[in-house]
Structure 1
C-alpha cells in the first residue's frame, strides 16, 4: 500500500483512561460503557470512536461512488452501529451494522450504491472477513 495519510493517537489506561491524537484534536477521557460494567454513559469508549470513524469514512466512500456513477441524490447519511461481544475462543469481537440513507434514488439504486461503497471504503476493506458487517439502506 502506498500511504496517503498517517495519524497517531495514544491511549493510557485502556478503557478507563485517556486517548489523545498527536495534534490534540482528540483529547478524551474514555470509560467502560454501563453495559460492560462502567458507572454511566458519560464518556466516549472505543466502540463509539470506531462507529464515528466508520460512519464518516463510509459516507465519503458512498459519495465518491455516487459522483463516479454521475447520479444525483439528496444529502446522504450513514449510521454505524458497533457491537462488542465474546467470541468462541473466549476473546472479544465486533459486529457492525451500517445504515445509509440515500435520498432521491430507488431502493435498487440505493442498495447498489451501498454495495459499491462497501468495496471502496477503507474501513470495510480492513474489516472484511474479520467481523460481520450488515448493510441496510433507505431512500427517503
Structure 2
C-alpha cells in the first residue's frame, strides 16, 4: 500500500486530557461521558471515531454513487459508536451507520451502501473486528 497521507495527533491525559493534531487544526478537551462516570464536558474517543467513520463513509458513498451514476449529494450519515465491557476484562465497540439517501430507491440505496462499505477505509479497518450495522433510512 502506498501511503498518501499520515494524520498525527498527540494526547496527554488520556480520556481526561487534551488531544491536538500536529498541524494544530484539531484541539479538543477530552472527558468521559456522564454514562461512564465523567462530566461530559469535553469530547471523547467514541465521538471522534463516530465523526471520522461517518465522514469517511460518506466520502466512499459519494464516490461509489458517482461511479453508479446516482446523485447522492443530499445524503447524510449518522454514526453511532457504542462502547461496553467485552466480557474478557476489557472493552469493545460496535458501530451503526444510519444512512439517508433522499430520492434514491431502496434497492439502489442498499447496493450503494454495500459498495461503499467495501471502499471505506474505516469499514476495511473494522471488518471482522467489531460489529458494524448499516441501516438505510427512507
TM range (shorter): over 0.9
Q: Distance in 2 between matches of 1:2 and 1:72?
A: 30
Q: Deviations over 1:64-108 (max 9, x none)?
A: 000011123451111100000110211111000001111111111
TM-score (ref. length: structure 1): 0.95
Within a 5 Å distance, the mapping from 1:1-140 to structure 2 comes to: 1-39=1-39, 41-139=40-138
Q: Secondary structure at the match of 1:6?
A: coil
Task: Give the aligned CA root-mean-square deviation in angstroms.
Answer: 1.0
TM-score (ref. length: structure 2): 0.96
Which 5+ residue runs of structure 1 have no aligned equivalent?
Answer: none
Q: Deviations over 1:16-52 (max 9, x none)?
A: 000000011111110011000012x321000000000
Which 5+ residue runs of structure 2 have no aligned equivalent?
Answer: none
Q: Secondary structure at the match of 2:20?
A: strand
Are the aligned partners of 1:74 and 1:104 in contact in 2 as well (CA < 8 Å)?
A: no
Q: Secondary structure at the match of 1:108?
A: helix
Give the aligned length. 138
After the TM superposition, which segments of 4 or more aligned residues of structure 1 sit over 3 Å from their partners? none
Q: Secondary structure at the match of 2:113?
A: helix
